[in-house]
Amino acid sequence: MKAPSSDWQAFVLHPFQSAPGAPGAGLELSGAIRRRAGTLELRLSLGGDLASVVLADPSFRPERRDDLWRSTCFELFLAAEGQAPYWEVNLSAAGHWNVYRFSGYRQGMEIEPSLQALPFELRRLSGALELELALPLPDDLHSPSSPLEAGVCAVIEQRQGLLSYWAVTHPGSVADFHRRDGLALHL
């Protein structure tokens, strides 16, 4: 992954309740994020024992799909500071994607209609998987005077059928990416 310039916020994701031998052991997940005009830019790098990770083959026709979180999936949660609505972005290793809008905590889930495509780049390198996304912000998040809260997360499926849940912070007793106090990055 390219070294981020000073306007990027770097972060590291941690697996929920990690312990030696627990799901996610032997993996590293980090990245950087920034807000630029009406776009949110995200870079992620998954490294370590990638042979243990289930990665769908790249699709020749990436499309909007539901339930991407059931296997390896990178996620981004966004909200305007102090506002109840939030957005969930799901990105699969195959190139499939979805963006949902929620009216409040796990309520009023709808597909975000303003996005008809979400091109992102996923590179499989020797020893790393790198993702780059330039997300056009929905109108409700577009105002440069409105600070944004972001949570970068991932579900990683390993060959043994185990899922690990990764986030910058895990504020609760169960892995829950929707918790507002988990949106720890401020843009």
pLDDT of residue 105 exceeding 90: yes
pLDDT of residue 65 exceeding 70: yes
Q: Among 4-18, 23-37, 71-85, 154-168, whose mean pLDDT is lowest?
A: 4-18
Distance in angstroms (rounded) separating the CA atoms of residues 120 and 151: 18
H helices within the chain, ranges in order?
Answer: none
Distance in angstroms (rounded) separating the CA atoms of residues 120 and 125: 16
The arithmetic mean of pLDDT across residues 138-164, rounded, is 89
pLDDT value of position 126: 86
pLDDT value of position 143: 81
Q: Pick the residue with more confidence: 145 or 51?
A: 51
Mean pLDDT (the chain, rounded): 91
* pTM higher than the cut 0.85: yes
The arithmetic mean of pLDDT across residues 157-175, rounded, is 92
The four Cα atoms 65, 46, 23, 49 give a dihedral, to 10 degrees, of: 120
Distance in angstroms (rounded) separating the CA atoms of residues 64 and 115: 10
Percent of the chain scoring above 90 in pLDDT: 74
Distance in angstroms (rounded) separating the CA atoms of residues 149 and 177: 13
Q: Pick the residue with more confidence: 146 or 129?
A: 129
> 52 CB contacts (<8 Å, ≥6 apart)?
26, 27, 158, 159, 160
Is 19 strand, coil or helix? coil
CATH for 9-42+53-165 is 2.60.40.1190
Distance in angstroms (rounded) separating the CA atoms of residues 4 and 19: 30
| Contact criterion met (CB below 8 Å) for 64 and 132 | no
